[in-house]
Amino acid sequence: MKILVTAGPTRERLDPVRFISNRSSGKMGYAIACAARDAGHEVTLVSGPVSLPAPEGVSLVRAESAADMARAVFDAFPRQDLVIMAAAVADYRPVEISEKKIKKQPGDFVLRLERTMDILAELGKRKCPGQILAGFAAESENLLENARKKLAEKNLDWIAANTVSDGFGTDTNTVTLLGRNGEALVIGPDSKARVAAKIVEIIASPPATR
Ligand code: CTP
């Protein structure tokens, strides 16, 4: 299969030296890309800024902001059989990007943010028959309820639900993989490599062999 994986955080620039981002390490997405490659698939990895080495045998596309990631993903999407969005895409970006470094002033500084595009929800709208879409749900409460909501609202086939305390920055993870046909499979706690291999095995297999 042709598989597109996204990984890591995005950075939303404020001025030449500052940005808004999040604590995603990219480890889970990179582990999924490597697991998919090892299973014999043709893998494209769209990665936000991370400090991980480029995996061998994977086509790597770098993206900085949510808008960059959206462009890279939409460009590749028509050629993909499966997309797994593991990136922690920023939901908001500064309304204005200053060309010059913002100087401090007396008093408070109010930062106005606007919504970025929900890449996965847009893919859910563009999805063609035969294309499989999978996302992650990072939650700090009501894990399965919120994940099921995202699965339905974004028109996904699969969602890997994980609590933020389990997965962010660590080498291990526990996910509950929810499928659009009511499947619910707990994977882990285990290394991100083994959790990733299991996720790929389930999502990238035809329904009859699952
Ligand atoms: N996602 C995306 N584009 C965004 C935000 C999220 O494609 N602008 C994708 C993520 O890659 C992930 C899924 O949507 O696969 C869910 O992301 P998550 O941060 O858990 O949830 P949100 O949809 O952003 O909702 P909320 O922040 O309210 O929990």
Which residues contact ligand 1 via a Cβ below 6 A? 66, 85, 87, 89, 91, 116, 118-120, 135-138, 150
* Atom 27 (ligand 1) nearest CA: 91
Predicted local distance difference test score (pLDDT) of residue 167: 58
> 178 C-alpha vs ligand 1 centroid, how far in Å?
16
SS (H, E, C) the chain: CEEEEEECECCEEEECCEEECCCCCCHHHHHHHHHHHHCCCEEEEEECCCCCCCCCCCEEEECCCHHHHHHHHHHHHHHCCEEEECCECCCEEECCCCCCCCCCCCCCCCCCEEECCCHHHHHHHHCCCCCEEEEEEEECCCHHHHHHHHHHHCCCCEEEEEEHHHHCCCCEEEEEEEECCCCEEEEEEEEHHHHHHHHHHHHCCCHHHC
Q: Which CATH number fits domain 2-94+110-209: 3.20.20.105, 3.40.50.10300, 3.30.1330.80, 3.20.20.70?
A: 3.40.50.10300
Of 22, 142, 155, 173, catalytic:
22
Predicted local distance difference test score (pLDDT) of residue 164: 82
Q: Is 22 one of the annotated active-site residues of the chain? A: yes
* Atom 3 (ligand 1) nearest CA: 118
Per-residue pLDDT of the chain (210 residues; tens, 9 = 90+): 999 999 999 999 999 999 999 999 999 999 999 999 999 999 999 999 999 999 999 999 999 999 999 999 999 999 999 999 999 999 999 999 999 999 999 999 999 999 999 999 999 999 999 999 999 999 999 999 999 999 999 999 999 999 887 757 788 899 999 999 999 999 999 999 999 999 999 999 866 555
Which of 74, 91, 162, when mutated, tests ligand 1's pocket best, judged by the most ligand atoms within 8 Å of its CB? 91
Predicted local distance difference test score (pLDDT) of residue 165: 77
Query: The whole model's pTM is what?
Result: 0.96
